[in-house]
Amino acid sequence: MSTAALPATPPAMPAPAFGAAMHALLARLFPICRSITGDGVRQTLAIVREYLPALQVHEVPSGTPALDWTVPAEWSIREAWVKNAAGERVIDFRAHNLHVLQYSTPVGGWFARAELEEHLFSLPQQPDLIPYRTSYYQPNWGFCLSHHQREQLQDEYYEVCIDSTLDAAGSLTYGELVLPGASEEEVLLSCHCCHPSLANDNLSGLVVAVFLAQELARQPRRYTYRLVLGPGTIGSIVWLSRNPEAVGRIRHGLVLTLLGGPGGFTYKQSRHTTAEVDQAAALVLRDFGAAYEVRPWLPYGYDERQYGSPGFNLPVGCLSRTPFGEFAEYHTSADDVGFVQPTQLAESLSLTQALCEALEANRSYRNLSPYGEPQLGRRGLYKGVGGGQEGADWQMALLWLLNLSDGSHSLLQVAQQSGLPVALLHRAARALKAVELLQPL
Amino acid sequence: MSTAALPATPPAMPAPAFGAAMHALLARLFPICRSITGDGVRQTLAIVREYLPALQVHEVPSGTPALDWTVPAEWSIREAWVKNAAGERVIDFRAHNLHVLQYSTPVGGWFARAELEEHLFSLPQQPDLIPYRTSYYQPNWGFCLSHHQREQLQDEYYEVCIDSTLDAAGSLTYGELVLPGASEEEVLLSCHCCHPSLANDNLSGLVVAVFLAQELARQPRRYTYRLVLGPGTIGSIVWLSRNPEAVGRIRHGLVLTLLGGPGGFTYKQSRHTTAEVDQAAALVLRDFGAAYEVRPWLPYGYDERQYGSPGFNLPVGCLSRTPFGEFAEYHTSADDVGFVQPTQLAESLSLTQALCEALEANRSYRNLSPYGEPQLGRRGLYKGVGGGQEGADWQMALLWLLNLSDGSHSLLQVAQQSGLPVALLHRAARALKAVELLQPL
Amino acid sequence: MSTAALPATPPAMPAPAFGAAMHALLARLFPICRSITGDGVRQTLAIVREYLPALQVHEVPSGTPALDWTVPAEWSIREAWVKNAAGERVIDFRAHNLHVLQYSTPVGGWFARAELEEHLFSLPQQPDLIPYRTSYYQPNWGFCLSHHQREQLQDEYYEVCIDSTLDAAGSLTYGELVLPGASEEEVLLSCHCCHPSLANDNLSGLVVAVFLAQELARQPRRYTYRLVLGPGTIGSIVWLSRNPEAVGRIRHGLVLTLLGGPGGFTYKQSRHTTAEVDQAAALVLRDFGAAYEVRPWLPYGYDERQYGSPGFNLPVGCLSRTPFGEFAEYHTSADDVGFVQPTQLAESLSLTQALCEALEANRSYRNLSPYGEPQLGRRGLYKGVGGGQEGADWQMALLWLLNLSDGSHSLLQVAQQSGLPVALLHRAARALKAVELLQPL
C-alpha cells in the first residue's frame, strides 16, 4: 500500500494556558457557599456571565410545581456555630462552608452533648476531613466536622446557633445559555452547581462547560448547543418541566461532572446505551489516548437520571473522570482547589471539544462512484511515494469511507468498523467530498 | 445514596424438615421395579396419590398409535435367574432389580457359557457395580451384573430363566395433575418415572416435583400448573398425542431430573434458548447462590426432546444437578438411596419454587409518573438514615423499576440489566404498585 | 446414546498425486514475465487452456473505459539492463523478471550514479532478495535488485537501457470459464494472474483454481461456477464493467490467492461479513483440521475490493494461507518455486473443494414428522449396538437435523449450532431424505 498526502492536522489540545485560566475561575468560585437555592448560586452565575455574557439567569418561585416535585423554600445561612461551656466557638461555619448541614433549619440554645451528638456528622475512617452532608427534603439541622475535632467535644453542654432562613417566598436559580447552530436540533450540556466549596464536585464540570461554551461560540455549529447550570435533581426537574419544546429538540446530551481530578475518564452511557452520543463518546475516548472506561446506564448518579427518566428518555450520557464515591476526597473537605489541577481541566476541555466535533462530524455519505473503487491516483489522493503509519491510515480512511458510504453507515460507524480515528475519517470525508466522490446525506 | 425500608423478607428455603420427608418418599419408592409400562409405574403413582390426591392416573392400551410411535406391549417380570451347574442361583433378579435387562423377552433352558455371555452386561471399568440396561424396542433378553460377579462364571453350562410377559393387551400408565390458576396459560412440569431402583435418576426429580406441586397447591397461582409423570420418551409422546389443547396453552415448561445428587445445578435451555423460562432459570440460578451452569439446547437428553420437537416447539427447559453421563454412579447400582441426600432434595425444591415464583412475578409495568424521578421521600420509600448493602439494593431496585417500566421491559429483563435479584425486584414492584407509581400491564 | 450405521465416507483429500501435478503446472508458468497486460498473460492463459479447454480468452482494447478506470496501454518489455563503465551488465532483466520495474517506460543513455539511484529499488533489511515493484499508473522507469548488488555499484556513470513499449493500440487480456450448473445462480472464483515470477503470489491461487475447476467440471453441480483469471484491480474492474447480467447472478464468490505457502489458512470475510460464503468458509475451516483464522472485511487487499465495492456489494470473500505482507518472502525473489510445496497446493485444493461442497449442500429442510421425534429404529437409523465418537456424531447429526428442520435453519446454521461437521450433516440429511423424514425446501 502506498501512502498519500495528509491534510494538515487540525490544532490538537488546547494550550496549557487554558488550564491556568480554567483553574483561576475555579479558585474564584470555590469560596462561595452554594446550595440548591440561595445567593450562592446567584453569585456563581454572575461570575459565569463575565465569561458567557449571553447566559440567562432564571428565578423560579418556591412552591412552583415541577413534574412530581415542588420548588423548595429558599435557604439562606448567615451564621452557624457551636460554643463550648467556656464560650469558645468549637465549630464555626465561617471557618468552612462544609461545617453546616445544608438546609439546616434555624436553631439556638444550649444542648446536652448527647443531644448535640445526634446532629453531628464526621468520618471516623477519615478523621482529618470534614464531610459534606445535606438534608434538603427532611427538616433537620446539624454540623459536619472532622472526627478529630469531634473527639475533643467533652463538655457537658454546648451552645448552638444556626442563623438560617427557609423562605417560602424565595426562589430557585439556574443559568441557561443557547448557542444557535445551523440546525434547530440541540446538544444539551448540563452541570450541577449546587455544591459549596467542593472543587472537583462540581466546579470542575462547570468550568469545563464554561470554557467549552466559549470555544463553541467561536466556531460554526451544525447543532444548537444549550448549556444548563442548575442545582442537582431539582434543577434539571425544573428545567425539564419548563421547556417541553426544547426537550423535543434534544438529539444528544452530556452531563459534565468531576472533570478535574487525577483519574482516567469515565463515560456512563445514556439510557439508550447505543445512542449517537454513546457511540461518539466511546470512539472519542478510544482515540483520545488517555485511560478511560465506558460504563452502562444506571438510573442513579447525576441529572442524567432525570433526562433519562422513561417519559423523557433523552440520550444524555455522563462524562466524568473517576466517578462519585470512588475517590477518597469525594464529598469531603479534601476536594479542594489543590485537588484539581490545571492540566486535568485542560485535558477534560480538550476531550469535550473532541466529543462535540465528533457529533458535528457524524453524517452518512453516499459514494458517488460506487461501482468498483474510484481511481484515487488521478484525483491526487493516491501517492506513489510516502510511508509511515499516518500515511497508511489516511489511505485506509479513504478506502473505508468509499466502501461504507452506501447511505447506511454513519461516520461513527465507519470509525467503529475500521478502527480508524474519528478525526482522521472526518478529514478524509472532507477530502473525498472536495473531489466529488462523497456526498453527505 | 440513602437506604429505605425493606419489606419483610418472604420465607426463604424450605425447612430441612422437608428434606427428611422428601427422602423418606424416595426411599419408599426405591425398591419398586419400574419400567416404561407395568405395575411398577402403577405402584409408584399410587404412592404419589397419597401426597397429591388429585393426581389422575391414565392407562393407554398397548398398540395405540401416538405420533410416530405405537404404545408398546406391557412388560411384566416375575422371576429372572441364572443357575450354575450346581443349581446355585449365580444371578437373581430378587437380589436387585437391575439384574434383568429391561423388557427382556421370556427365556428358559440351558446355555453354553459363550451363548450366555452374549446376554450379559457388566462394567469392566467399575467392576463392583451393576449397570442399568434396556431393550424396549428390539426384542432381546439379558442380565446385568457386576464385572467381578461375571468373572466368577466359569462353568461350561448355565440354566437360565426369565419369567416375563410382553402383553399386547396391556397398557401404558402415566399420572397427571392440574393445579388451576388465575389464567388458563400453563406451566408444564414433567418427570420420567420409568427407572427401577435408581434414586437420582429419577426418583429425585419425581420427589421434588411432588413436593413442589404440594407447595404450589397451597398458594394463589397466576398460572395453571400441569404435572406429568410418565415413562421417558414414549410417556411424553403419548401425553403430547392425547392433549393437543393443553399443548396450546403451555407457556413455560421444565423437565425435572437428577435433582438429588451432590453436584451443582445445570439448566439446559429450551429449544427457543431465550424463552421466558430460559431467562427465569438463568436469573434464579444467578441469584440462588449455589454453583450452576446454563447449557445450550441440545436435541438429546430427556423429554424436552419431545416437547421441543419442531412441530410442538414448546419452551421447555431441563433442570438437573450434574447431568446424565457425567457422574460415576449414573445408570448403575451406585445410584442408590444413599447417593441422594435430604439436604440436596430440599435445596432442589427451594430452587424450583424460586423458579416458579420468578415466572409468576414476571410482568411488564408502566411507570405512572414517568417524567423525571418521582419523589420517593414523600411516599415513604426514601429514608434519610440507614445503610448496608440490602438497603442500597432496595433503593436501586426502586430506581431501576421506575426507570425501565416503560411497558417494554419485563421484570426479568430489569433483573438482567440491573443485576439485582428477581425476588427483590418483585418486592420493590409490589411496593411501587402500592403507592400507585407502577401499574402492571 | 446408541450409535447407528454410518454411510460410507466420501473420498477425503485429493491424492498427493494432485500436488505433484499442481506443482508441475506452477513450475511451468513461473518463468513467464506477466504484467497487467501483454504477452505474459496470453502465454499463461494458453497453458491454462491445456487444462481447461473451455476457457475463453478476452482481449479488451487499451483506452476502453471501465467503470471509473480506463484500460491502460499494453506494456511489452524486451530488454532491460544497466552496464557499468567497463560495459559489464551489472543488472539484467534476462537474469530475473523482477529486475525491471513493472510498466517501466523506455529509456536509454548514460546516467550519473546519483541519478540512477533514484530509479533503483532494494531491500536493506533483506539484502539478498530482489523486490517486486510496479508503477502502472504513474509513468516511471526503474530497476529492482538485491541490496548487496546495489552496494557494489560504485562507478560514477552507468549506461541504462530499457527496451519497452507502452502500446495505446494494445489490449488487456483475461480468461473466463463458465461451468453451467442446475441453477443459473453463480459461484464466482477469481484469481489475479499479473505477477511475474512470483510463485505463491499468485501462481498458487491460479493453479488451485485450475484444478478445482477441473474437479468441479467432473461432477454434478447445483450452481453455475465462473472462473475469472485476470490482472489485479483493472482485471476485475474490466470484468465487472462488461458483465452486468452475470454480476446479478452471483450468489457466492471467492478470491483465491497465496494458497501455496507454508502457513495456516486465512479467510477474509466478504463485505457482508455474514453471507452464506462467510458462514461456509468459517465452518469448513473449523471442520478441516488445519490451523486457520477468519478475519473481518477490509476494503484493502485483492479483487474482493472491487467485487465488494458498495455499488456491486457482492458476497465475495478471500481465501489464502498467510496473507500478503505477513511473510518474509512476500513480493520478493524468495517467493519462488521452492517456496510452494506440492502438499500445500493439494491441501488448499482440498479445502476449496470442501468449501464448494458446503455451498452446494447448504439447503433448508422441512421435517416431515415434526411432532415428537420420529422413531428412527424402525427406519434402520438407530442401532442398538455400536460405539465410538463417529457413531455418536452420526446419531446427533440425525437428531439435530430433525430438530432444526423447520424451514428456517439452513444446513450451515445446523452445523454452527450443533458443532457437527458440515459434511457429516450433509450425509445425514441425505439419509433422512431417503427415508422421507426430510424434504428440501
DSSP assignments along B119-138, one per residue: TEE--TTSTT--B--B-SSS
pLDDT on residue C249: 98
The residue of A36, A67, A134, A241 whose CB has the most chain B CBs within 10 angstroms, and thus the best one to mutate to test that interface, is A67
Residue of A nearest to C138 (CA): A384
The residue of B67, B238, B268 whose CB has the most chain C CBs within 10 angstroms, and thus the best one to mutate to test that interface, is B67
CB contact under 8 A, A236 and B372: yes
What are the residues of chain B with a beta carbon less than 8 Å away from any beta carbon of chain A? 1, 367, 369-375, 377-378, 384, 396, 399-400, 402-406, 417
CB contact under 8 A, B299 and C1: no
pLDDT on residue A12: 47
pLDDT per residue as tens digits for the range C265-299? 999 999 999 999 999 999 999 999 999 999 999 99
How much is the mean pLDDT over chain B?
94
CB-CB neighbors (< 8 A) of A371 in chain C: 67-68, 240-241, 309, 311-312
Buried/exposed code over C160-194 (b: 16+ C-beta within 10 A; e: otherwise):
bbbebebeeebbbbbbbbebebeeeebbbbbbbbb
How much is the mean pLDDT over chain C?
94
CB contact under 8 A, A299 and B405: no
pLDDT on residue A5: 42
The length of chain B is 441
Q: What Cα–Cα distance (Å) separates residue A324 from each residue in A129, A318, B236, B399? A: 17, 12, 56, 18
A269 closest CA partner among A319, A202, A325:
A319
Which alpha helices (H) appear in A296-387, and where do they start and end? Answer: 304-307, 342-361
pLDDT per residue as tens digits for the range A35-65? 999 999 999 999 999 999 999 999 999 999 9
Residue C61, classed as helix, strand or coil, is strand
Q: In this structure, are residues B4 and B386 in contact, taking their beta carbons and an 8 Å threshold?
A: yes
Mean pLDDT of A407-423: 97
Beta strands at C171-179 and B120-121: parallel, antiparallel or unpaired = unpaired
Q: How confident is the model at residue C19 (pLDDT cuts 50, 70, 90)?
A: very high
Q: Touching B: which chains, 3+ CB pairs < 8 A?
A: A, C
What residue has cell string 389422575? B56
Nearest-CA distance B224 → chain C (Å): 23
Hey, which bits of C35-95 come out as E strands?
56-61, 65-66, 69-70, 74-83, 89-92
Q: In this structure, are residues B96 and B130 in contact, taking their beta carbons and an 8 Å threshold?
A: yes
Nearest to C367 among B233, B271, B310 (CB): B310
Buried/exposed code over B300-310 (b: 16+ C-beta within 10 A; e: otherwise):
ebbbbbbbbbb
Cβ contacts of A194 within 8 Å, gap of 6 or more: A34, A35, A36, A41, A230, A231, A232, A235
Mean pLDDT of A307-333: 98
What are the residues of chain A with a beta carbon less than 8 Å away from any beta carbon of chain C? 1, 367, 369-375, 377-378, 384, 396, 399-400, 402-406, 417
pLDDT on residue C384: 46
Cα–Cα dist C15/A90, whole Å: 96
pLDDT on residue B388: 60
CB contact under 8 A, A371 and C312: yes
Q: In this structure, are residues C249 and C224 in contact, taking their beta carbons and an 8 Å threshold?
A: yes
Nearest-CA distance B351 → chain C (Å): 29
Cα C187 → chain centroid: 13
Domains in chain A, CATH or no CATH each:
16-72+171-360 (3.40.630.10), 74-167 (3.50.30.90), 363-440 (1.10.10.10)
CB-CB neighbors (< 8 A) of B140 in chain C: 384
What are the residues of chain C with a beta carbon less than 8 Å away from any beta carbon of chain A? 66-69, 135, 137-138, 140, 233, 236-237, 240-241, 271, 296, 299-300, 305-306, 308-313
Residue of A nearest to C272 (CA): A404
Residue of C nearest to A379 (CA): C68
- For helices A342-361 and A422-434, what crossing angle results, to 10°? 40
Nearest to C69 among A375, A405, A406 (CB): A375
pLDDT on residue C16: 63
Per-residue pLDDT of chain B (441 residues; tens, 9 = 90+): 333 344 444 444 455 679 999 999 999 999 999 999 999 999 999 999 999 999 999 999 999 999 999 999 999 999 999 999 999 999 999 999 999 999 999 999 999 999 999 999 999 999 999 999 999 989 999 999 999 999 999 999 999 999 999 999 999 999 999 999 999 999 999 999 999 999 999 999 999 999 999 999 999 999 999 999 999 999 999 999 999 999 999 999 999 999 999 999 999 999 999 999 999 999 999 999 999 999 999 999 999 999 999 999 999 999 999 999 999 999 999 999 999 999 999 999 999 999 999 999 999 999 999 999 999 988 988 764 344 666 889 999 999 999 999 999 999 999 999 999 999 999 999 999 999 999 999
**Interface B:C, Cβ pairs < 8 A:** 65
More confident call, C6 vs A383? A383
Residue B49, classed as helix, strand or coil, is helix
Residue B401, classed as helix, strand or coil, is helix
pLDDT on residue B440: 96
pLDDT per residue as tens digits for the range B179-236? 999 999 999 999 999 999 999 999 999 999 999 999 999 999 999 999 999 999 999 9
pLDDT on residue C393: 94
Nearest to A67 among B371, B378, B402 (CB): B371
pLDDT per residue as tens digits for the range A232-258? 999 999 999 999 999 999 999 999 999
Q: How confident is the model at residue C380 (pLDDT cuts 50, 70, 90)?
A: confident
Percent of chain C's residues with pLDDT above 90: 92
CB contact under 8 A, C309 and A373: yes
C306 closest CA partner among C359, C350, C250, C361:
C250
Cα–Cα dist C352/C208, whole Å: 8
CB contact under 8 A, C372 and B68: yes
Mean pLDDT of A169-176: 98
- C61 C-beta neighbours (distance < 10 Å), count: 12
- For helices B16-29 and B39-51, what crossing angle results, to 10°? 150
Residue B188, classed as helix, strand or coil, is strand
What residue has cell string 450448473? C181
**Cα Rg of chain B (Å, integer):** 25
Q: In this structure, are residues B180 and B224 in contact, taking their beta carbons and an 8 Å threshold?
A: yes
CB-CB neighbors (< 8 A) of A417 in chain C: 296
Q: What cell does C81 get?
A: 539492463
H/E stretch holding C215 reads helix C205-217
Q: In this structure, are residues C13 and C346 in contact, taking their beta carbons and an 8 Å threshold?
A: yes
B72 closest CA partner among B146, B172, B153, B164:
B172
Q: Angle CA(A147)–CA(A148)–CA(A153) in degrees, nearest 5?
A: 90
pLDDT on residue C301: 97
Q: In this structure, are residues A94 and A108 in contact, taking their beta carbons and an 8 Å threshold?
A: no
CB-CB neighbors (< 8 A) of C370 in chain B: 309-311
pTM of the prediction? Answer: 0.93
- A314 C-beta neighbours (distance < 10 Å), count: 23
Cα A411 → chain centroid: 25
Q: Touching A: which chains, 3+ CB pairs < 8 A?
A: B, C
CB contact under 8 A, B309 and C403: yes
Q: How confident is the model at residue A8 (pLDDT cuts 50, 70, 90)?
A: very low
CB contact under 8 A, B309 and C399: no
CB contact under 8 A, C373 and B309: yes
